[in-house]
Amino acid sequence: MKSLLLSAVIGSSLLATAIAASTSAAPIAKSNPLRVGMVAATAPATGFLGAVEVTITNTSNKTARVPKWQLPNASGESELFRITRDGQPVEYVGKMVKRGVPKAKDFAILRPGQTIRTVVDLSIDYAISQPGQYSVTMAKPLQWASLSDGSSLKTPRGDFMLLQSAPLNLWLNASDLNNAALSTTGGAARGGSTVPGNPTLPPLGRDTSANPNGAGDPGPLRDRSGFGVNATYLNCSADRQALARTAIKEARTYTEVAKGYLNAGTVGTRYTWWFGTFLTARYNSAKQNFVNIDAAMDLNAGQVSINCLCDPGFEDSYAYVYPNDPYKIYVCNAFWAAPMLGTDSKAGTLIHEMSHFTIVADTDDWVYGQTGAHNLALSNPNQTSGNPSASVVGNADNHEYFGENTPNRN
């Protein structure tokens, strides 16, 4: 990530009790004290004019604690910005990371009145490849953020407050893009939503399994007991290859059952708990997502890649992917410590990560954890602030927990 941190935010100490206060039943702040400003950054003559300077100010008289990945200097670790070109969404191509509850070291400290400034080159983690009128908005839920009085940054109805800017309009012409271009490791360099050298990949988006009972019936579940796992393993010991192979098998079972549930038109507590009250369009989106996730999990000619070596700084995560680089999944320490089945399991993590790929379900990490995912389904299952990724059918953990179904719901 090519970003210049102009004023570092360093939390030199953070008590574990403060973290616990922000994740338990804590009082709610009266208003969001974090104000976000964004302007076009001045670029050098050979630079990319799509860089932005983001300022975040703590306007309260209390210290704010915010997970570092929610701040703009973590642009390549999370989809912080929503960008359109001539009204059309611009693809994010940076890391999508499954994280657990943050530890003390994961928090940044913003003292009363403090302002931080960060310059972010958007061309690194967004597919900015054509001239046009760009609109840029920073928006991220302040999950786990809190103030020093113990209050959490939530709205009265339980939604997380947003770290959000006003839209910034940028006009980029062809010469701007030519200057940036191909010297970065961003969007174009990582490739698009295809797998080079794999022209025979089955098309996603259709359920091609045999179903003699009609489209409304899930049909018989496929027997996975003799279905081998021909995946690609990188930087994995023999023991970890065996564990990853079992996780793929179990994830296939999870996605097959989940797909069958939705294909049957079932609307039980399992559905409403994770995807909210029934709405035809939302139900159909969830159903199609699981058709695609199941088809991707079933790829069996080495297309699915498990890499057991994570980048520095991400070792304690569960896993991450680059959404436009299917089907490569990087698994990290929390993955190996997780159970094979159940909540936040190895099998469920693979479903979570598979859902991120643009050609699968194109999900985001809007909120994490069972509580966050369920609250999203309860309070705002459709959208938040006009962002499709903020809906339950755009959030990866809602898909994982629906697939894991732990505890069991009908």
pLDDT band at 129 (very low <50, low <70, confident <90, very high): confident
pLDDT band at 29 (very low <50, low <70, confident <90, very high): confident
For the cut 50, the answer to whether the pLDDT of residue 146 exceeds it is: yes
For the cut 50, the answer to whether the pLDDT of residue 223 exceeds it is: no
pLDDT band at 409 (very low <50, low <70, confident <90, very high): very high
Amino acid 5: pLDDT = 34
pLDDT band at 27 (very low <50, low <70, confident <90, very high): confident
Rounded distance between C-alpha atoms, residue 335 and residue 293, angstroms: 19
Which residue, 360, 357, 359, 355, is CA-closest to 392? 355
Rounded distance between C-alpha atoms, residue 97 and residue 85, angstroms: 25
- Residue recorded with tokens 């100010």: 57
DSSP 282: H
Which residue, 97, 96, 94, is CA-closest to 126? 94
* Whether the model pTM is above 0.85: no
Of 74 and 338, the one with more pLDDT: 338
* Lowest pLDDT segment from 89-103, 295-309, 386-400: 386-400
Amino acid 248: pLDDT = 98
DSSP 3-state of 396: helix
Sequence-distant (6+) residues with CB within 8 A of 139 are 80, 81, 82, 162, 163, 164, 165, 385, 387
Amino acid 63: pLDDT = 98
Amino acid 44: pLDDT = 55
Q: What would the pLDDT profile of 6-17 be if each residue is shown by its tens digit? A: 333 333 333 333
353 an active-site residue? yes
* Lowest pLDDT segment from 54-63, 111-120, 168-177, 267-276: 168-177
3-state helix, strand, coil in the chain (%, to 5): 30, 20, 50
Q: Are the beta carbons of 330 and 320 closer than 8 angstroms?
A: yes
DSSP-assigned letters across all residues of 306-323: EE--PPTT-TTSSEEE-T
327-344 as b/e, with b when 16 or more CB fall inside 10 Å?
bbbbbbebbeebeebeeb
Rounded distance between C-alpha atoms, residue 244 and residue 348, angstroms: 12
For the cut 80, the answer to whether the pLDDT of residue 247 exceeds it is: yes
DSSP-assigned letters across all residues of 118-180: EEEETTTTB---S-EEEEEEEEEE-TT-EETTS-B-B-TTSPBPEEE---EEEEE-HHHHHHH
For the cut 50, the answer to whether the pLDDT of residue 41 exceeds it is: yes
Amino acid 49: pLDDT = 67
Which residue, 11, 201, 200, is CA-closest to 106? 11
Which residue, 90, 20, 34, is CA-closest to 63? 34
Which residue, 374, 408, 406, is CA-closest to 395? 374
For the cut 80, the answer to whether the pLDDT of residue 190 exceeds it is: no
Amino acid 376: pLDDT = 92
Q: What would the pLDDT profile of 366-404 be if each residue is shown by its tens digit? A: 999 999 999 999 987 765 444 555 689 999 999 999 999
Amino acid 228: pLDDT = 73
Amino acid 37: pLDDT = 97
- For 258, 274, 408, the CA distances from 265, given in Å and listed in that order, are 11, 15, 18
pLDDT band at 138 (very low <50, low <70, confident <90, very high): very high
State both tokens at 261. 């549930």
Average pLDDT over residues 274-297: 96
DSSP 184: S
Average pLDDT over residues 356-367: 96
Strand partners, 135: 84, 169
Indicate the residue type of 311.
D
Amino acid 176: pLDDT = 65
- Which residue among 53, 77, 353, 400 is the active-site one? 353
pLDDT band at 172 (very low <50, low <70, confident <90, very high): confident
Amino acid 210: pLDDT = 33
Strands 146-147 and 51-58, how do they pair?
unpaired
Q: If phi over 0 gives left and psi between -120 and 50 gives alpha, with beta otherwise, what is residue 180?
A: alpha
Of 44 and 58, the one with more pLDDT: 58
For the cut 70, the answer to whether the pLDDT of residue 275 exceeds it is: yes
Amino acid 1: pLDDT = 38
Amino acid 178: pLDDT = 64
Amino acid 12: pLDDT = 34
Of 128 and 296, the one with more pLDDT: 296
